[in-house]
Amino acid sequence: MINPDPRFTTEVELTVPFHDVDAMGVVWHGNYFRYMEIAREALLNQFDYGYRAMKASGYLWPVVDSRIKYRSPLTFEQRIRVQATLEEYENRLRIGYRIFDIAGNKPTTTAYTIQVAVELQTGELCFVSPQILFERLGRIQ
């Protein structure tokens, strides 16, 4: 189920730094995950369940799957907008991403990541998201 609620979406704007590009001035493919991580962190913090809060609640949420589709390359000093949307949360966190070129408002990249809850004490995988997640999501106004 894709979550259509706009309260579960956030956006961050970034400028591609020199250290993220190769000799041709194009962003190395692995750096896209860093941009997505910045947006994911902003999204999680939006409902007060960022990484510190996750750990404090007794759960770790490792990324267990990801997919990315590169439509057009990002380049040095390009201004981009990274949108992150919480698409699923009942049994896992599926976060969808869209990266846009700000100047042309054109999508350059689509992706998703999947995270699952793991109990910090036991290391056991949770097959249903823990109650704390639902409580935090319920606080969104």
User: Which residues have a catalytic role annotated?
Assistant: 22
The H or E element spanning position 72 is: none
Residue 4: exposed, middle, or buried by beta-carbon count in 10 A (0-12, 13-18, 19+)? exposed
Host H or E run for residue 60: strand 59-60
Cα 31 from Cα 20, distance rounded (Å): 6
Per the CB < 8 A criterion, the answer to whether 66 and 38 are in contact is no
Q: What does the block give as tokens for 114?
A: 């999947």
Cα Rg, the chain, nearest whole Å = 16
